[in-house]
Structure 1
Amino acid sequence: MRAALIRSFDGPESVEIADVVEPAVGPDSVLIEVAATSVNPVDWKILHGGMQAAIPHHLPMTPGWDVAGTVAAVGPAIRDLQIGDRVAAYARKDHVRDGTFAERVAVPERSWALVPDEVDLEVAACLPLAGMTADMLLDAAAVGEGDTVLVHAAAGGVGSFAVQLAALRGATVVGTASERNHDYLRDLGATPVTYGEGLVDHVREVAPDGVDAVVDLVGGAALEATPQVLRDGGRVASVIDPSVADRFGGTYVFVRPDRARLTRLLQLVAEGRLKVEIAERYPLEQAREAFLASKAGHVRGKVVVTRD
């Protein structure tokens, strides 16, 4: 089968398309005929070797943790799937080697969820990592009815989900983004503010008493401003900086497979209550270009890589 492959940690530029051995299907695994996958920042960080301290890596390597497609084979311990079922998965494993930027991928039982008929597989491929990260961040920050929550990088893949899911929880959402994305954030249900210089003043203009929770997707200066925008007793959750626990009493989040959560998010998409923004589409043969587009930043929504 064909797959995106790296043989060294030299970044997206080192990605090639090569013939590789089809993955084995273990007793608790499912083989997915890939329709689409999507790029997440962690993917191009892996291409640079930036995640080796967290998870064992093996070269040559196919990256990718998001996938949607149809079931091609099931392991003998699987009882609740049939060949041809439509599934999506957050396919992170205990080692990084056989990822989702391929024609077929084997994923463990804990990873997959059935895709409702109303949801296109390209759309479903955007949801696992980014959607579940957003939802877990909101849980970690205990965002609920009546809260005002500040979402940094609100127009990106995780941020756009966090805005919508926070609004569905009954929160008032303030989102940082460049001005070109302000109308987009308004459509998602957030009050947009410009990031960078003057951030604290911008937030205080729309939330004079401060915010109840901060969802951090960028770290750096935005996170440093937290004490100046957070109410006393407010909560902080970050997907970037583990030091939030010591500095702000917050929570660092690293997304984990969660079938029930992914099933719920897919159902929200099916019901039209959660929107998925696809910024760009690339065929598998142009996976390198897809990684480079994501790494360049300023992408609104998700970059998708399709089988065709």
Structure 2
Amino acid sequence: MRAIQFSEYGPPSVVHVAELAAPHAGPGEIRVTVRASGISPGEIRIRSGEMRDVVPLTFPYRTGFDAAGVVDEVGDGVTGVNIGDEVFGMTDSAARGANADFAVLAAWAPKPAAWSWEEAGGAAGSAETATRVLDRLAVGAGHTVLVQGAAGGVGTVAVQLAVARGATVIGTASERNHDFLRSLGAVPTTYGTGLVERIRVLAPDGVDAVFDCAGGALPDLVAIAGDTARVVTIADVTAAAHGVHMSHGVPADDTGNGTAMGASADPLALHGLAIAVTLADEGRLRVPVAAAFPLTEAVAAHELSESRHARGKIVLVS
């Protein structure tokens, strides 16, 4: 089968299509014929080497951790899913490998009928990440939440999940994306110089939580929140220097307490997949897709993600 991988840190050009033996579903797993799979900004940072001290790699490294497709193998002990079912889900955190013709999923949910394959292919990682961080920040009804970088793949989902919890959401993005953020339920503002003052105008009673999906503005975000414990980033590797938690996921049953994935790892919020299905079926959650590329154009997909100008999720289609 075809699979995307890289064998050294570097620019987008280090990723390539490899011909590999297809994986098989082990106990508690399923395999899917992949229709679409996601490109993650976090994985872009992993590929560049920016995250080498947080997420250690063994080369070659196969990319992709969320995918959607048709079940074609069911592992021992798996119930409630059959060959031929349409699902979306996530690979094992350490194994990855979703950017391929076949992927083994460790967690999954039924594909909502309202979603295209492209939407479903990029949904699981964003839903899990957004749920994990919103849970850590204890976001609920009546809270005001700032989502920094709200127009990206995780940000767009985080906005909608926070709105569904009953929170008021302020989202930062370039001005061209402000109407888009309004359509998701957020109050938009621009990022950059003057952010603290703009937020004080929009939220005169203060902000209860800050979810940083972009990086590069932690001093301002801490000032806005008033407490480092009320800020969580998924994008800024300088987090520890500012006393801020940087979240990335590790399975809840990891016996090493997340050490293999770095000290800042949090248990995966896999319940976020079921929440996403419910909201999608109710017409309250969509997964904006910035672009879809064939597997053979993975380099172009990484280039677009690295540009930081994509509105929504970038996916690869098989």
TM over 0.5: yes
**Residue 104 (structure 1) aligned with residue 102 (structure 2):** yes
Specify which of 286, 291, 307 is matched with residue 296 of structure 1: 307
Instruction: Measure how far apart 1:37 and its partner are.
Output: 0.5
**Residue 204 (structure 1) aligned with residue 206 (structure 2):** no
Distance in 2 (alpha carbons) for counterparts of 1:233 and 1:54: 20
Change (3 A) 1:55 1:95: farther
RMSD: 2.3
Distance in 1 (alpha carbons) for counterparts of 2:213 and 2:64: 20
Distance in 1 (alpha carbons) for counterparts of 2:57 and 2:239: 27
**Residue 37 (structure 1) aligned with residue 37 (structure 2):** yes
- Where does structure 2 lack aligned partners over 5 or more consecutive residues? 251-267
Residue matched to 1:18 = 18
Contact 1:56/1:94 (<8 A) preserved: no
Contact 1:39/1:304 (<8 A) preserved: yes
Distance in 2 (alpha carbons) for counterparts of 1:6 and 1:157: 22
Contact 2:132/2:269 (<8 A) preserved: no
- Where does structure 1 lack aligned partners over 5 or more consecutive residues? none
Change (3 A) 1:226 1:70: same
Instruction: Measure how far apart 1:218 and its partner are.
Output: 2.4
**What per-residue deviation string (whole Å, max 9, x for no partner) do you get for residues 187-238 of structure 1?**
1111111111111111112112321211112232x22013432357982222
Residue matched to 1:67 = 67
Residue matched to 1:148 = 144
Residue matched to 1:275 = 286
Contact 1:11/1:44 (<8 A) preserved: no
Instruction: Measure how far apart 1:164 and its partner are.
Output: 1.3
**What per-residue deviation string (whole Å, max 9, x for no partner) do you get for residues 129-154 of structure 1?**
11221122111111111111111011
Specify which of 220, 231, 235 is matched with residue 236 of structure 1: 231
Contact 1:129/1:255 (<8 A) preserved: no
Specify which of 236, 246, 249 is matched with residue 255 of structure 1: 249
AA paired with 2:313? K
AA paired with 1:253? S
Distance in 2 (alpha carbons) for counterparts of 1:34 and 1:273: 25
Greater alpha carbon shift after TM alignment, 87-96 vs 284-293: 87-96
Distance in 2 (alpha carbons) for counterparts of 1:148 and 1:106: 38
SS at match of 2:60: strand
Instruction: Measure how far apart 1:242 and its partner are.
Output: 7.2
Change (3 A) 1:204 1:133: same
Superposed counterparts of 1:162-241, under 5 Å:
162-220=158-216, 222-230=217-225, 235-241=230-236
Greater percentage in strand: 1
Change (3 A) 1:58 1:184: same
SS at match of 2:230: strand
Residue matched to 1:7 = 7
Contact 1:12/1:288 (<8 A) preserved: yes
Greater alpha carbon shift after TM alignment, 226-235 vs 71-80: 226-235
SS at match of 2:199: helix
**Residue 80 (structure 1) aligned with residue 69 (structure 2):** no
Distance in 2 (alpha carbons) for counterparts of 1:20 and 1:232: 48
Distance in 1 (alpha carbons) for counterparts of 2:269 and 2:227: 32
Instruction: Measure how far apart 1:80 and its partner are.
Output: 2.6
Distance in 2 (alpha carbons) for counterparts of 1:12 and 1:123: 23
Distance in 2 (alpha carbons) for counterparts of 1:133 and 1:156: 13
**Count of matched residue positions in the alignment of Structure 1 and Structure 2:** 301
Instruction: Measure how far apart 1:107 and its partner are.
Output: 2.5
AA paired with 1:20? L
Distance in 2 (alpha carbons) for counterparts of 1:94 and 1:234: 28
Distance in 2 (alpha carbons) for counterparts of 1:274 and 1:134: 12
Change (3 A) 1:178 1:284: same
Residue matched to 1:305 = 316
**What per-residue deviation string (whole Å, max 9, x for no partner) do you get for residues 73-128 of structure 1?**
112232332111111112133345xx1111001233xx222223333222111211
Change (3 A) 1:227 1:263: closer
TM-score by length of 1: 0.89
